[in-house]
Structure 1
Amino acid sequence: MDWFAAVDIYCERTAPGFWNEPLNAISNLSFILAAIWAGNESRKRPGQPLVIYMLIALCFLIGIGSFLFHTFANTWSELADVIPIWAFVAIYILASVRLIGGVSPGRILRVSLMVIAGIIITFMATSGNDTSQSNPETPISMLNGSGQYLPAVCAMLILSTLTWKRRHPLAPWFITATIMFMISLTFRTLDMHLCAAWPFGTHQMWHLLNGLMLGVLLQALIRNTARPDQPIQLAPGAMSD
């Protein structure tokens, strides 16, 4: 593997160079701001479980990794972008299952294996087509790389549906975050397809909306979780199965 091979898969990039994607690079501040927002809120609410601080740190690293990818634009920086994202997705899903549902550690392990398997299968299915199109002559796929986020879409839809059906206090947070994610994913998908009409592309909107979405997801857990041994309670009269 050539760790320094150039990767050019976004509309805004027209040539090699550190600042050839200024909007895509600077828009990663949204993740940094989301992490700062979450950090400030967690300090106001002592007793947060360790996993909350892990998620805040990963949110910050997402901003750093994505900034590196949209400036250096090569293989190693692509990994710096992808790894924190999927680490956040996996850990957030597991944290939600534990903190919201009070699921036992044994069942958490089984869920962990399912989450990891889902991510691996998705990457295998999309590798070579979605996540890396460094050859400018390669035809743009219909989803423009967005297929790799199918596990995240499924997880957010499931969390939103379950919390809504159970009248869970986190339902409005998850539903809001899911809507944001679907809109941001649309912007990501359209980026290369709209180059002729909009040379700057739409990928920076993916960053801005996703930063806000991660901020909402972090706030959802921070504001509704006191200790890991006290799962968030359902609303009175809600389903308990």
Structure 2
Amino acid sequence: MTPLAFIDLYCERTAPGFWNEPVNAISNIGFVIAATFAWRVSQKRKGVAPDFWEISLFVLAALIGVGSFLFHTFANSYAELADVIPIWSFVALYVFVVIYRSTGEDVHRTVRIAAIALFVTGTVFWFTSDDIMTDAHSHDHGPGPFNGSLQYLPALVALIIFSLITALRHHPARRMIVFATAAFSLSLVMRTIDHSVCDLIGIGTHFLWHILNAVMVGLLLVTLVREYPPSASIR
């Protein structure tokens, strides 16, 4: 496939064209709303301004929406990179920042825990890496049985582990993290069944993947801002 080949991966798309996936494209506004809301919450903290890490995460959250909008409008391989890169950049940075702040900003402990997290998620990714470029065989063979959703299994594993740790420690963030994990789990289902319900629901369910993921991202960001604030040393 050439770099600018037309990608027809989702139920809503029926032909080439910028606005052939209007619902899938427009539903990405949820990520911008989530990022803006989290930023507003961070502004209300007394005596603690958003630091570099939080601002970076707010920007990446908004870029998830921008990148996904580009993918569902231009529908080419370059736009797919604009979709995938912000997502995994957000996941990696969020995990790092939460670990860093959970350890009292201890660099050595952060590196050790991050290495373990990387090993676990990397192992999961190893078994699901064939799904990373979701359009690789879509033209010739149609979507796979999971419609490319297995590429996000490492993120689900990370959220489940995060939920268990906060629950076992009775951390104030535990409810928000559980809700975020539930939202992401449901969003993966919506992404996976998009083609299966295409005849029943003409536009498919991929737009719900966007909306639920925006909810998940918003919950994670607000949790970070409220329950894992930066220390006085980096204000």
TM-score by structure 1 length?
0.87
Corresponding residue of 1:25: 25
Stretch of structure 1 that moved more, 190-199 or 87-96 = 190-199
Q: How many residue pairs end up in the alignment?
A: 230
Instruction: Label 1:114 to 1:166 Cα distance change in 2 as closer, same or farther (>3 A).
Output: closer
Q: CA deviation at 1:136?
A: 3.6
Is the contact made by 1:98 and 1:228 (CA closer than 8 Å) also made in structure 2? no
**Residue 37 (structure 1) shift:** 0.3
User: What pairs up with 1:194-233 in 2 under 5 angstroms?
Assistant: 194-228=197-231
**Match for 1:165 among 152, 163, 168?**
168
Distance 1:2 1:108, change over 3 A: farther
Q: What is aligned with 1:236?
A: none
Which residue of 174, 178, 182 maps to 1:179? Answer: 182
Q: TM-score, normalised by structure 2?
A: 0.89
One-letter code aligned to 1:176: F
- Deviation (angstroms), 1:110: 4.0
CA distance in 1, matches of 2:52, 2:29: 24
Can you list the C-alpha shifts for 1:40-85, whole angstroms capped at 9, x where unaligned?
1111123333211111010010010000000000000000000000
Identity %: 42
Match of 1:98 in 2: 100
Closer, same or farther: CA 52–129 of 1 in aligned 2, 3 Å = closer
Of 2-11 and 176-185, deviating more is 2-11
Q: Give CA deviations for 1:202-225 in whole Å, capped at 9, x if unaligned.
A: 000000111111111100011123
Stretch of structure 1 that moved more, 35-44 or 130-139: 130-139
For 1:112-191, what aligned pairs fall within 5 Å after superposition? 112-113=114-115, 118-119=121-122, 122=125, 125-127=128-130, 131-133=134-136, 135-191=138-194
**Structure 2 unaligned spans of 5+:** none
CA distance in 2, matches of 1:20, 1:134: 21
1:144-200 CA distances to partner (integer Å, 9 max, x unpaired)?
111001110011000100100110001011001001111111100100111122220
**RMSD of aligned residue pairs (Cα, Å):** 2.2
Partner of 1:69: 71
Contact in 2 for aligned 1:49/1:228 (Cα 8 Å)? no
